[in-house]
Structure formats: C-alpha cells, structure tokens
Amino acid sequence: MTDNIKVGWNLENTYTSLPDIMFTAINVNPVSNPKLVILNEELATSLGLDSNALKSRQSVEKLAGNRALEGGIPLAQAYAGHQFGHFTMLGDGRALLLGEQITPSGELFDIQLKGSGRTPYSRGGDGRAGLGPMLREYIISESMHALGIPTTRSLAVVTTGEDIMRETVGPGAVMTRIAASHLRVGTFQFAAKWGTIEDLKALADYAIERHYPILMDNENRYLLLLQEVIEHQAVLIAKWQLVGFIHGVMNTDNMTISGETIDYGPCAFMDIYNPKTVFSSIDSHGRYAYENQPNIAAWNLARLAESLLPLIHEDQEEAVKQAQEAMATYPEKYETYWLTGMGNKLGIFNIEKADISLIENLLQLMDKYEADYTNTFRALTLSKLEETALYGKEDFNQWHEKWQARLEKQDVSKDFIQRLMQKSNPVVIPRNHRVEEALEAAVVKEDYSVLENFLKVISRPYDYNSDYMEYTSLPPDTLGEYKTFCGT
C-alpha cells in the first residue's frame, strides 16, 4: 500500500445509478448492544481498512447496522428467483448494501450486512439472523477462499445483544459480507419480469461494466455477457465438484453473475463419497444433491439466458437461437474444467477424454467401499494407500496399476507429479463435526478459541507439512446423518 492511498472507508454507491425499481434506500435498523465477535484482519487490510479502527465502538455500531458508513447510501436490492423450481419475487429481506469499497488496488467490492433488519422485501420475516448461521457462513466462505474457489467473503460478525426466535431462542448477529457484487441470476429475472426493456438494459450494462468491462463497447455485449457468466459458472461448479462442496440451495437468486459462490445456508462438504449426498433439510427430493449441481447450474443459466433474450436480438427467434448456442457450450466447458481438475488430483497434467474411465472407476470404488472423498485423494497423494477404505481390495489394486501405468506415460518426474497432486488435493476441509464443534463453543459458551483455531487450520488447506492431522478424521458415527438448515 502506498502512502497516498487513504486507509478507511472509501465508498462508491454505483448501485443507486440503476433504475428505481431495482432497489430501495433504507434507514438503518439499530440493535441494542452490538459486540464484535470476529474480524477478518487480513481481508480488512486488503480492502484498505484499518483493523484497529474497525474494532472501535463507532465502527462496531456501523458493522451492526446502527448507523451508515461515511459516504455510503444503505439500500436493499430487489431480485426474484426460482426457489426449488418455483418463481418468486424476493429481494434483500434481511440484508443491506452499505456501499461499494474502492480497494487500494482499485477494485470495487460490495460491503453488505446480513441480518440487519427488515426491509420492504422481508415478506413477513424478521430481517434478522442467528449467530450460529452467520459464523457458519464466515467459516465456510473463508475456507472456500483458502481452497482457491471464487466466493464472497466475510469481514466481521457482530452480535446484536438481542435474541431471535428460530427453532429455539438464540443470540442474533449481523455479518458483513464482501462480494465482487451481489448481482444474481435472479436480479435479471426481476428486471425481465417487472422492469421495462430500458431497465433490463441498464442492469445488463451495469453488470458488464462491473464484471466484464472489456465487453462494454461491443455491439453483441449482451450475448457476450451470457457467455462470460456461463464460462465463470462452469469454472466455479467444476471447482465445487472437485473438492466435494455441496451448496444446498442452488436457487437462481443464489447464483451470481460474477461467478462467486454466494449464500452459505445449508451447504457442507461431502465426507464419504456418495454422488447422491444432499445436506439441506428442506431438499427432500434431492434436487440440489452433489451429482445434480452441474445440471442445476445449466438450468439456472438458462433462466439468465431467457431474461436476456430481448437484449440479445430484436428478432426473438434469432435471440433464442443465439442464446441456445451459448447455452450449448456449457456442458463441454464444465466437463473440460472438471476433467482437467480431476486429472490434476491424480497427478495427470495432460488429461484426455480417454482418461475418463480411470477417474470414474476410482469414484465408483469410493462409492462401493464408502471411502472418504478428501482423504482418499490425500492418501493417493502421499502414497499411503493403507489409510484408505480401498486398501487391499482386488478391484482397487487393479485400478492402482492402471493409474500408475498412466502416470508413467507422462514425461515428468515423480516429484512433479506429487507437487501437482498436493496443489490439487486439500488436506483439510471444514468437516461438519468440526464446524459444529466450533459453533457450539462460540454460541453456547462464548468461547471463540475453538473457532479461531479452526480458522487457522482451514486457511492452509493444501499445507502437507502441517500437523493438522486431527482435523482430517471423519465424524464419529454417533453424530448420525448431518442436516443443515437455511434461512435462519
């Protein structure tokens, strides 16, 4: 950071340039006794903020939504969404965009509060959030960031001093979320359904300027915008699949235009490999199960494509044709990213389509022998086969021979292969029982040491030299099937 860059809030309010129907300016909703319980100092620095200043009484009041940030215009964004397939009008029902911070490197990030009180989009909800779910989002989003997966991030969590009613009564909290933007597929669905064509155009131009500015002068920019979102989502979903991340609520309002993961509700990482794994307690049909995520992303992108049709071409048939051609590129893009990533996980840097069976056979074996997904790849990386549930199985031995033969076809050293595998296979992921342990200590005992320790561990997921082995073990069986809840 150079001396002439101001440290502190340095806000823009570009969202207010959008048509009025896209947002509602909001007065803040004060809470009684805000207390900072966790602050992301590294993220604060990268945003051009001073961590010590953020801990002051005045700053904590701002992070609780008791007063606006200097230079910021608080607003709630309007959006719609397909929730489990059903189209609904939504919007920020418990979130406030405080402004957009210009970072020392010249980037623009949304500063948003979650759990900050009611808005015109609250639909009967209380606008509040529980401490457990906000800390959970903090843990998982920071872990995703450390894993190298595009994501919104968490700057701080503040308790409100007020209890909220959910299944039980518990402490309320406000989280500060940092995002490249909060533009969602659902934002476009909202504009397409309830706005004029000019509104839709203003939104699309805004999204392009913010995320894909290189397209701005192109006369086909709306089709190119669609192509960019398809590209970024293909990258993102492949990364999720590769680490075994299950989002849980892939509604169109929870899918960004930037390609960042957003809205950590009932999400979790898979332990034992099972493509049908689903975590959300409300997803009884398994719509958002692990194996369905790539297809659901395509379904959501098709909703974006539909919303953009009037901008893509004035002739509807031509617009549909162009949008369909763009959509048709998604499966191939996704598969290429997934295949390349899976190749890297197995130490193969020049993967080919012919290698698919090698990958699929391994996944089938994991499924058959109930092997832990993350630990199996870690054991392969370390050549500690005895640590996997596959050890000693005849069909695994055969697979292993084929794999070794495939590796030998590459003209690279063993060392190179091992480094590639270490970079591609995390040692630690935020396992559910560890997340719960950290949350329980924080929420019930107000002991944040378990959480702080855990955050340190998951901030270095690819560190094979660490002594984090205790964090690699599976949950004790007594925990039973893990279910997570959203909207809490």
* 217 is annotated as an active-site residue: no
Q: In the complex, what is the shortest distance from the CB of residue 208 to ligand AMP, in angstroms, rounded to a whole number?
A: 25
Q: Residue 263 interacts with Mg ion (CB under 5 A)?
A: yes
- For residue 117, the partner it binds in Mg ion, ligand AMP, none, with Cβ less than 5 to 8 A by kind, is none
Decide which of Mg ion, ligand AMP, none touches 186; Cβ closer than 5 to 8 Å per partner kind. Answer: none
* x-or-dash string of contact with Mg ion, 195-234, rule CB under 5 A: ----------------------------------------
Which range, of 123-131, 346-354, 374-382, 452-460, touches ligand AMP by CB under 6 A?
A: 123-131
Q: Does 91 bind ligand AMP (CB under 6 A)?
A: yes
* Beta carbon of residue 413, minimum distance to ligand AMP (angstroms, whole number): 47
In the range 103-122, which residues lie near ligand AMP by CB under 6 A? 121-122
Pick the closer one to ligand AMP by CB: 34 or 93: 93
414-447 burial: b if 16+ Cβ within 10 Å, else e: eeebeebbbebbbbbbbbbebbbebbebbbeeee
Binding mask 244-283 for ligand AMP (x = CB under 6 A): -----x---xx--------x-x------------------
Q: Check binding of 130 to ligand AMP (CB under 6 A).
A: no
Min dist CB 113 to Mg ion, Å, is 14
Closest by CA to 421, choosing from 456, 376, 381, is 381
Which of the listed partners (Mg ion, ligand AMP, none) does 92 bind, with a CB threshold of 5 to 8 Å by partner kind? ligand AMP
| Shortest CB 283 distance to Mg ion, Å | 15
Please report whether residue 132 would count as binding ligand AMP according to CB under 6 A.
Answer: no
Q: Which of 92, 110, 199, 253 is catalytic?
A: 253
Residue 92 near ligand AMP by CB under 6 A: yes
CA 397 to chain CA centroid, nearest Å: 36
127 lies in the site for ligand AMP, by CB under 6 A: yes
Q: Which is nearer to Mg ion, 121 or 403 (CB)?
A: 121
Cα separation, 461 vs 457, in Å, equals 7
List of residues 6+ apart from 112 with CB closer than 8 A: 95, 96, 97, 98, 176, 177, 178, 179, 182
From 64-72, 200-208, 256-264, 350-358, span contacting Mg ion (CB under 5 A): 256-264
Q: Which stretch binds Mg ion (CB under 5 A): 160-168, 231-239, 260-268, 309-317?
A: 260-268
Choosing from 20, 52, 53, 125, the residue that interacts with ligand AMP (CB under 6 A) is: 125
SS (H, E, C) the chain: CCCCCCCCCCEECHHHHCCHHHEEECCCCCCCCCEEEEECHHHHHHCCCCHHHHCCHHHHHHHCCCCCCCCCCCEEECCEEEECCEEEECCCCCEEEEEEEECCCCCEEEEEEECECCCCCCCCCCCEEEHHHHHHHHHHHHHHHHCCCCECEEEEEEEEEEEEECCCEEEEEEEEEEECCCCEHHHHHHHHHHCCHHHHHHHHHHHHHHHCHHHCCCCCHHHHHHHHHHHHHHHHHHHHHHHCEECCCCCHHHEECCCCECCCCCCEECCECCCCCCCECCCCCCCCCHHHHHHHHHHHHHHHHHHHHHHHCCCHHHHHHHHHHHHCCHHHHHHHHHHHHHHHHCCCCCCCHHHHHHHHHHHHHHHHCCCEHHHHHHHHHHCCHHHCCCCCCHHHHHHHHHHHHHHHCCCCCHHHHHHHHHHHCCCCCCCHHHHHHHHHHHHHHCCCHHHHHHHHHHCCCCCCCCCCHHHHCCCCHHHCCCCECCCC
Residues near 360 by beta carbon (within 8 Å), at least 6 away in sequence: none
Question: Whose Cβ is closer to ligand AMP: residue 29's or residue 388's?
Answer: 29
The β-bridge relationship of strands 95-102 and 11-12 is: antiparallel
Pick from 254, 375, 422, 424 the residue near Mg ion by CB under 5 A: 254
152 binds Mg ion (CB under 5 A): no
Q: Should residue 24 be labelled a site residue for ligand AMP when binding is judged by CB under 6 A?
A: no
- Nearest approach in angstroms of CB 43 to Mg ion is 21
User: Which span (24-32, 89-97, 372-380, 440-448) binds ligand AMP, by CB under 6 A?
Assistant: 89-97
Q: How far is the CB of 67 from ligand AMP (least distance, A)?
A: 21
Give residue number: closest CB to Mg ion.
263
Considering the rule CB under 6 A, would residue 126 count as an interface residue with ligand AMP? yes
User: Least distance in Å: CB of 118 to ligand AMP?
Assistant: 7
Q: Least separation, in Å, of the C-beta of 391 and ligand AMP?
A: 41
- Least Cβ distance, residue 123 to ligand AMP (angstroms): 6
184 vs 333 by CB, closer to ligand AMP = 184
User: Would you tell me which residues interact with ligand AMP (CB under 6 A)?
Assistant: 90-95, 121-122, 125-128, 249, 253-254, 263, 265, 486-487
User: By the criterion CB under 5 A, which residues form the site for Mg ion?
Assistant: 254, 263
Catalytic residues: 253
